[in-house]
Amino acid sequence: MYQGWEESGYFQPTFDKDESFSIALPPPNVTGSLHMGHGFNNAIMDALTRYHRMDGDNTLWQPGTDHAGIATQMVVERRLEAQGIKRRDMTRADFIDKVWEWKEESGGNITSQIRRLGSSVDWSRERFTMDDGLSNAVKEVFVRLFDDGLIYRGKRLVNWDPKFQTALSDLEVENHDEKGSLWHFRYHFTDTELLTQDGKNYLVVATTRPETLLGDTAVAVNPSDERYAHLVGKTITLPITGRIVPIVADDYVEKNFGTGCVKITPAHDFNDYELGRRHSLPLINILDERANILPAMEVYPDLQTREPTLETTPSEYAGLERFAARKFLVEQAGEQGWLEDIEDYALKAPRAERGGTIVEPWLTDQWYVAVKELAKPAIDAVEDGSIEFVPAQYKNMYMAWMTDLQDWCISRQLWWGHRIPAWYDDATGEIYVARDEAEVRSKYNLSDDVKLRQDDDVLDTWFSSGLWTFSTLDWADVNADPRVMDTFHPTSVLVTGFDIIFFWVARMIMMTMHFVKNEDGTPQVPFKTVYVHGLVRDGNGQKNVKIKR
């Protein structure tokens, strides 16, 4: 029956009615199978679509799938490893060919399941985020944002997966309740005559990650904590490295938690990073991309400094894996007498959603979208009712996120995905951005003898999916039928779960309103209504998700 409907074109839209209705299917990842959450989501969309189609509206339910960067790469790598082949032993092109082969084998599973659900999507317009049309839209958006000064490359702290050696979005990091330890260490004053109020010549700091001691650049206390007021501005000489660091006062420190003293490691902790910025502290990176201790630690006086100075790592730590370094440091602290205490501690362990590796805050060069300018119209559109959240309570969640945005890290250290359209002249250090290398040479007046190297990174999957409502309607194709965009954009409603309001919904609104305009030049919204439904969870309260391991 369904095949007959599809072959008869019953799900294809018309363009001659007075009213139009459209929905963009949230693109399921191409990596696996649909779960109960997809069935729930599709049932809602199908009911809306069929109602409007029967009501006589021009109706389009736009289908498609997502290339799912890290998840897909993980699946293909495992398939190859089962054959005794490692990705690093292949060329990038050969590996990408293997991914496309796998996609052709397995990609039909998702679409066949959508058909089995009876979903009345228009299969004649099926899209994939790595299709030529959508890839061209991604390049167009990246280049224009860069030319507008809204994309830049900079050194920042990111969620880093040492296993896959890539940056992760917050959504790809899960905080697990685990049993750990809290280690208390004695940090002695540089001035041997300096004492605390209770007569000690050291402060006691506590940490769940002892190995980060190697990268400490300060100890912080609360400015209202009278116990330590006379110590602010004095210095500590760190154990192991012998580095002299200041004692600073900052409201971030809770004076009633522990001893009221906090070790500060700006290059390996997000909160410390922000505190470090407030106090102009240097950042010291102690880890390589595999989370092993560097033989020479990288010292950055600030984030504007491109090349660090190097500080030799104590030889007994150089090259150690982070947890081996932790064990060795604790043993050394005990032997040398500066280990005060060890206590059992319940902690939130940040693990990669896929692979389960402990995620490391890591200082690295990445590409970013400057979101402040993009956020303003996206906030206004919800405030003035151009976009309505249903239920209305989710407007508050959206606004809370949008009014406290950080620049968006969009680069990923993967091979599968949209490769960043940036080229480097290694001889000069210059970076050039254009749609392809030929355009780079024309745009920047570069001769053929200038050797260029394309950036190895790919874009965050959320970057391409953030263009979903208009890229799927052939926005970047100058030869496309203009009636499609004119009739079906903005889309009528987005049906989604609350967990991706920020990661997907907000970014779609920001991107669409910057690139798609109404006839009068005002920004066009991607959808008029956001219908937010609940999540399907398992017996342990965990949401249904895609491939994790």
CATH of the domain at 14: 3.40.50.620
Q: Decide: 28 and 34 in contact? Cβ < 8 Å.
A: yes
Q: What does the alpha-carbon distance between residue 475 and residue 494 come to, in Å, rounded to a whole number? A: 19
- Residue 432 inside a domain? The answer is no
Q: How many domains does the chain have?
A: 2
3-class DSSP state of 98: helix
Q: What does the alpha-carbon distance between residue 172 and residue 352 come to, in Å, rounded to a whole number? A: 6
Res 228 pLDDT > 80: yes
Q: Which helix (H) or strand (E) holds 107?
A: helix 92-116
- Residue 428 inside a domain? The answer is no
**498 and 469, same domain (yes or no):** yes
**375 and 353, same domain (yes or no):** no
- Residue 351 inside a domain? The answer is yes
Q: Decide: 490 and 528 in contact? Cβ < 8 Å.
A: yes
- Residues paired with 300 in a beta bridge: 283
- Under the banding of pLDDT at 50, 70 and 90, the label for residue 549 is very low
- Residues paired with 419 in a beta bridge: 458
**23 and 74, same domain (yes or no):** yes
**229 and 264, same domain (yes or no):** yes
- Under the banding of pLDDT at 50, 70 and 90, the label for residue 547 is very low
**233 and 136, same domain (yes or no):** no
Res 254 pLDDT > 50: yes
- Residue 330 inside a domain? The answer is yes
Mean pLDDT (whole number) for 340-344: 96
Res 313 pLDDT > 90: yes
Res 367 pLDDT > 80: yes
Q: Given this model, what pLDDT does residue 224 score?
A: 97
**181 and 324, same domain (yes or no):** yes
Structural domain containing residue 408:
1-150+370-420+455-533
- Under the banding of pLDDT at 50, 70 and 90, the label for residue 355 is confident
- Residues paired with 22 in a beta bridge: 60
**462 and 349, same domain (yes or no):** no
Which residue, among 346, 383, 406, has the nearest Cα to 525 in the 3D structure?
Answer: 383
Mean pLDDT (whole number) for 274-300: 98
- Residue 365 inside a domain? The answer is no
Domain boundary among 327, 357, 387: 357
Mean pLDDT (whole number) for 419-425: 98
**304 and 416, same domain (yes or no):** no
- Under the banding of pLDDT at 50, 70 and 90, the label for residue 544 is low
**189 and 229, same domain (yes or no):** yes
**132 and 225, same domain (yes or no):** no
Question: Residue 112 is encoded by which pair of tokens?
Answer: 């066949």
- Under the banding of pLDDT at 50, 70 and 90, the label for residue 293 is very high
- Residue 140 inside a domain? The answer is yes
Res 165 pLDDT > 80: yes
SS (H, E, C) 161-185: ECCCCEEECHHHEEEEEEEEEEEEE
What pLDDT digit, counting tens, does each position of 21-79 carry? 999 999 998 887 888 888 999 999 999 999 999 999 999 999 999 999 999 999 999 99
pLDDT: which is higher, 440 or 545: 440
Q: What does the alpha-carbon distance between residue 254 and residue 277 come to, in Å, rounded to a whole number? A: 19
- Residue 98 inside a domain? The answer is yes
Helix/strand/coil percentages in the chain, nearest 5:
35, 30, 40
Mean pLDDT (whole number) for 509-526: 97
Segment among 324-328, 514-518, 544-548 with least mean pLDDT: 544-548
- Residues paired with 206 in a beta bridge: 184
Mean pLDDT (whole number) for 93-117: 91
Q: How many CB atoms lie within 10 A of CB 429?
A: 8
Question: Residue 355 is encoded by which pair of tokens?
Answer: 């692979």
Q: How many CB atoms lie within 10 A of CB 448?
A: 7
- Residue 315 inside a domain? The answer is yes
**120 and 214, same domain (yes or no):** no
CATH of the domain at 236: 3.90.740.10
Mean pLDDT (whole number) for 423-447: 96
**380 and 339, same domain (yes or no):** no
Q: What percent of the chain has pLDDT over 70?
A: 98
Average pLDDT, whole number, for the chain?
Answer: 95
